[in-house]
Amino acid sequence: MARVVEIRHRNGTLCARCLVARNAFQRMKGLLGRASLPRDEGILFPRTSSIHMLFMRFAIDVVFLDGASRVLKVVPALPPWRFAACRGAKTTLELAAGACAELGVGPGDELEIVEV
């Protein structure tokens, strides 16, 4: 069964239904095959400091977190066929494009990960 969490920022809920990609299949599939990502959904990739957008059909916001869920780097609207990485990141969060700008998420911000 899939684990789902809510991700909160001081300015509001960043992701109401965030899938935690815990196994190899979930990590490999990610957002592949989807035509879009609703504003309240996302995927959290533990133990990941880089992602690729190969075969994707839409742009996403990418947030790199340290071990304490602090934002190290935000890549807004990363388009298909691109890569992103962050040295020192322990977790990567993929969100709908524009989600980070909407709540003002940036480096140094702390996110709260809550079990749903």
End-to-end CA distance of the chain: 13
> What's the gap between Cα 39 and its chain centre?
12
- Whether 110 has a pLDDT exceeding 90, the answer reads yes
pTM summary value: 0.94
38-54, pLDDT tens digit by residue? 999 999 999 999 999 99
Which domains can be identified in the chain, with CATH numbers? 3-115 (2.60.120.1140)
DSSP of 37-53, one letter per residue? --TTEEEEEET-SEEE-
45-96, pLDDT tens digit by residue? 999 999 999 999 999 999 999 999 999 999 999 999 999 999 999 999 999 9
Residues 6 or more apart whose CB falls under 8 angstroms from that of 82 comprise 52, 53
